[in-house]
């Protein structure tokens, strides 16, 4: 299991977030947000261009058909410190990558929360504040 996944397991346990680690090395965490809402976060191991292990931390924010304003998503993207707005297979996601060997517990914990919060904000904008389905 990667360092980032191990740290995410620790972060989830400390915060009381539901988590599941899969046999293929991926992980899913359902984080609680300060607003009382929740957001599902995926962690997917990968290899960077130099051959180093990295982990993508991402969350589904909605479907492109519901997003409505792709240019608005790009403008909003420039405000993110942790994560980037990406469009993948007609889905809007917030994604951040961490270098596995140098990741720390505070960094992983903050990334989980920031990616989840950003994806939730996009979800609320697309589907309304009453929606908490992703």
pLDDT, tens only, 13-72: 999 999 999 999 999 999 999 888 899 999 999 999 999 999 999 999 877 665 566 666
Predicted model pTM: 0.86
In this structure, are strands 53-63 and 38-47 parallel, antiparallel, or unpaired?
A: antiparallel
d(CA 41, CA 113): 9
For 3-127, CATH gives: 3.30.1460.10
**Rg of the chain on CA atoms, in Å:** 14
- Which of the two residues, 67 and 3, has the higher pLDDT score? 3
d(CA 48, CA 45): 10
What angle, 0 to 180 degrees and rounded to 10, lies between the N-to-C axes of helices 3-15 and 105-127?
A: 70
């Amino acid at each position: 299991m990667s360092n980032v996944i191990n740290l995410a397991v620790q972060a989830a346990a400390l915060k009381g977030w539901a988590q599941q680690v899969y046999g293929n090395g991926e992980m899913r965490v359902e984080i609680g947000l300060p607003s009382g809402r929740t957001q599902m976060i995926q962690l997917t191991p990968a290899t960077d261009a130099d051959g180093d292990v990295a982990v993508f931390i991402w969350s589904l924010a909605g479907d492109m058909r519901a997003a409505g304003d792709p240019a608005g998503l790009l403008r909003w993207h420039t405000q993110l410190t942790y994560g980037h707005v990406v469009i993948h297979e007609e889905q809007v996601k917030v994604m951040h990558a961490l270098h596995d060997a140098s990741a720390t517990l505070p960094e992983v914990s903050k990334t989980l929360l920031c990616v989840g919060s950003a994806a939730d904000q996009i979800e609320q904008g697309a589907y309304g504040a009453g929606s908490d389905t992703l």
